[in-house]
Structure 1
Amino acid sequence: MGKALKELGWERSEYMVATKVFFGTGNSEEPNARGLSRKHIIEGVTASLGRLQLSYVDVVHAHRPDPTVPMAEIVRAFTYLIDQRLAFYWGTSEWSAQEIQEAMTVAREHHLIAPVVEQPQYSLLHRERFEVEYSPIFKKLDYGSTIWSPLKNGVLTGKYNEGIPPGSRMDVNKEFFKDSVARMDTEEGRKEIEKVKQLTKLAEDKLGCSVGQLALAWAASNGHVSTVILGATKPEQLKENFGALKIIDKLTPEIKQEIELIMDNAPTHPQTWGR
């Protein structure tokens, strides 16, 4: 990416770049090679900037929570990155709502910089955590979100409706996607495929779009979704994905209700008794 950005020659103010830190880039099992220690956060982001050929990133995410490191150390390290102009903002990824709240409390109590955005998985086939657990932090703390896997590893494009086609992501990367591949042979996986087939008909008949565009538009239409991460492997896929922007306004309450009837997986929100 660093090479591509350099060759494009864009003004730095014209685009945003985010990076993540936690797992490291090698296979080392040494404790300082991964995690959210102050040492690894600062060294990891500095190394990422070198690969990107940038002096700063716009957002840096803590790619996972790290229970082995005190929250105060984590928040101080990200505050340091921002103070040193190596990043403008920091966020979380796959943290629990409780962990996010703890980070924000630590930041407030110690006059440090709090995280502003979570990077969770969210799609028509993966809704519970985003819509239930994170709901309070979105509403009360104005926390942002950058969602990943909005097409559930390509399942919501319809490409796997008749099995795993040769050359597809699940075919080429069987080991990496082994859990997703195995799920497709389960009763639950087969039910998901049937739902995708019904969504495909709805998308084509009533919206004049692909099922993938419908799925992306549905995710982006959620008021708590700030950004949608796309994982295209071909230019034409990216162009088709961008077509979802034209579908968002077509998702009327009636269409969304039809989608809900097909999916039948809306999470149940806990009773708060007026709180």
Structure 2
Amino acid sequence: MVQYRYLGNSGLKISEITLGNWVTHASQVSDDAAIATVQAALDAGITTFDTADVYANTAAESVLGRALAGQRREGLEIFTKVYFPVGPKGPNDTGLSRKHIFESINGSLRRLGTDYVELYQAHRYDHETPLEETMQAFADVVRQGKALYIGVSEWTAEQLREGHALAQQLGFQLISNQPQYSMLWRVIEGKVVPTSEELGISQIVWSPMAQGVLSGKYLPGRPVPAGSRATDEKSGAHFIEKFLRDEVLEAVQRLAPIAAEVGLTLPQLAIAWVLQNPNIAAALVGASRPEQLADTVKASGVTLDAGTLAAIDAALGEVVYSDPEDTYTVSPARRLA
């Protein structure tokens, strides 16, 4: 069964493997398959579910709400996010203004079929709205009982520090950040993680398998598999492009004997690796079929010794990307609508 970790400097425990529905619900899979996958997650001990209003332009939240209907609400941790354009994408249908935050949380709760979410996250940093306005709106969302905690996604170390200070002044907790992180993509290690450790902020990391590249199914010198994420523009194909170089794919193949040595599959090794970092509260995983989760959850509770971690670093060598400056380019300079 999946193990649990505290989220940031709070008393909230979450499942260290968390089910996300970015490119699956209301997109890649039918609603029936999505509901079956959520049930499989619950059966495996996953109690934490992550979504966002922008996923499938709000439809993914609705599917998750239906999938969780009838479950004991107190036994779940439901996360969602706000920032990106939704609905008809008018001038106020995006960003972190007070107007958009309140309209978004109300819409998300309605679609999810719940009175509150455990974690409400700023999906990106909004350079066009004063941070004070954003954090005051989040404080009011918490005081109204619509969210228990506040998190962010892909914020820089400096943005985390400023947001944390304002949250303290306003009387609520900023407890999490949701960045991309994997064996291949380690840009948060230089600045974001040390700052987060100081502030009591955890990482909930997305793409721990580097968009599927760390599964080993993409082979050097070969066409990408038909029907894979790399062929589907709606499923984030542009996110995987940076990993599809032959030198990266060759390095990933060198991980296979290391995984075998410790009795893991390549996907399990990838997820177990991110969970070795004590600042990581959870690895976000997706699944299009229920049976995928039975394999994935075996990464929970795995300890990789120093020799294994060193072997992974040696196998990947120079293909690892770790420039902390990349964290400064993720949030758009201007809103997208």
TM-score higher than 0.5: yes
Comparing 160-169 and 14-23, the one that deviates more: 160-169
Spell out the pairing of 1:1-275 with structure 2 (5 A cutoff). Answer: 1-6=64-69, 9-28=70-89, 30-108=90-168, 110-128=169-187, 130-161=188-219, 162-171=222-231, 173-174=232-233, 176-180=235-239, 182-183=241-242, 189-204=245-260, 206-245=261-300, 248-249=302-303, 251-264=304-317, 265=320, 267=322
Q: Shift of the alpha carbon at 1:268?
A: 7.9
Aligned structure 1 segments of 4 or more residues deviating by more than 6 angstroms: none
> Separation in 2 of the partners of 1:66 and 1:114?
19
Q: Shift of the alpha carbon at 1:174?
A: 3.4
Cα deviations by residue, 1:79-113 (Å, 9 ceiling, x for unpaired): 111100000001110111111111122233x4342
* Pair member with larger Rg: 1
Instruction: Name the structure 1 match of 2:8.
Output: none
Cα pair distance change 1:183/1:145, threshold 3 Å: closer
Q: Shift of the alpha carbon at 1:27?
A: 4.7
Aligned-pair identity in percent equals 34
Match of 1:98, SS state, is: helix
> Matched residue pairs, number?
258
> Separation in 2 of the partners of 1:111 and 1:23?
25
Match of 2:92, SS state, is: helix
Asked whether the 8 Å contact 2:117–2:146 carries over to 1, the reply is yes
Asked whether the 8 Å contact 1:20–1:62 carries over to 2, the reply is yes
> Separation in 1 of the partners of 2:185 and 2:141?
33
Match of 1:222, SS state, is: coil
Cα deviations by residue, 1:134-190 (Å, 9 ceiling, x for unpaired): 13322211111110000011001111124321222223x1365443564466xxx21
* Structure 1 spans left out of the alignment, 5+ residues: 270-275
> Separation in 1 of the partners of 2:237 and 2:72?
41
Match of 2:255, SS state, is: helix
> Separation in 1 of the partners of 2:165 and 2:243?
41
Cα pair distance change 1:76/1:150, threshold 3 Å: same
Cα deviations by residue, 1:238-265 (Å, 9 ceiling, x for unpaired): 211111125x22x111111111111223
* Structure 2 spans left out of the alignment, 5+ residues: 1-63, 325-337
Say which structure is richer in strand.
Answer: 2
Cα pair distance change 1:102/1:183, threshold 3 Å: closer
